[in-house]
Structure 1
Amino acid sequence: MRLTVNGQTHEVDVEPEMPLLWVLRDELGITGVKYGCGIAQCGACTVHVDGAAVRSCQLPVGELTGEVTTIEGLGQPGALHAVQQAWIEHQVAQCGYCQSGQIMAAAAFLALNPEPTDQDIDAVMSANLCRCGTYPRIRAAIKSAAATMRSA
């Protein structure tokens, strides 16, 4: 099976029903994507497929159509995505486990809605769980990233 992840093409020999999450982590060694619940309820495994936020724990690799971007491919050291930079500036992460999924969800959301309200942010991001409860900082970081992206 051939897939493109973070701009690189990979050949993997896996069963088509294997979830994308495990292909990324176990076959390709891309560990920024996290296992949380395994039932697409927590958001820790969120990646982009052609720019759309997708729960990789429930996407069989055989059904994958499009290019995958993980947190490792969203931005680069010295050239972070606006959401990654805002996460740092607003000190969002505490334990950090959910953060790659949170950031990937926020980046996909802002690509569709560059001027979100608090209600928009809460509605979209409520599907990504954070045990540390940094939701006010997440909202502030998303608003900050949106402003940065609009001025770029």
Structure 2
Amino acid sequence: MVDTLTPAQRSERMSRIRSANTLPEVTLRKALHRLGFRFRLHGRRLPGKPDIILPTYHTVILVHGCFWHRHEGCKVATTPKSNTKFWVEKFDRNVRRDAVVIDQLEAAGWQVLVAWECELASFAKVTAKAISLGEEIKGASR
């Protein structure tokens, strides 16, 4: 399938994709807050600027988009049919960078948890994921 947008139009659309305060991230933050967790956001001093930082528990939560971070087995993690080589290289860089960031955070003593976009697709899923993360966070701090 040929891209129906000009390169300038495609660039404009891609530039509107946010890296912080995305809908999945905000909904997870609200659910964690309802459960009593207090956190910091996008810690610039930490590798990869984690989305949610729980200093009390020495834990960070990375909220990953399934498409951009290649959630294995997820139907959203498709590869575009046009310019495939570019996209495969881009996704590979993202996955490698994610692995490096996780290694750096763990080496610094942080517990790293990942929440995937598809796990946060509805209120029920967000609530379930927040409860699951909460149990994992509190379980690790004992």
Structure 2 length normalisation: TM-score? 0.26
Larger radius of gyration: 2
Structure 1 length normalisation: TM-score? 0.25
Q: Give the number of the structure whose residues are more often helix, by fraction.
A: 2
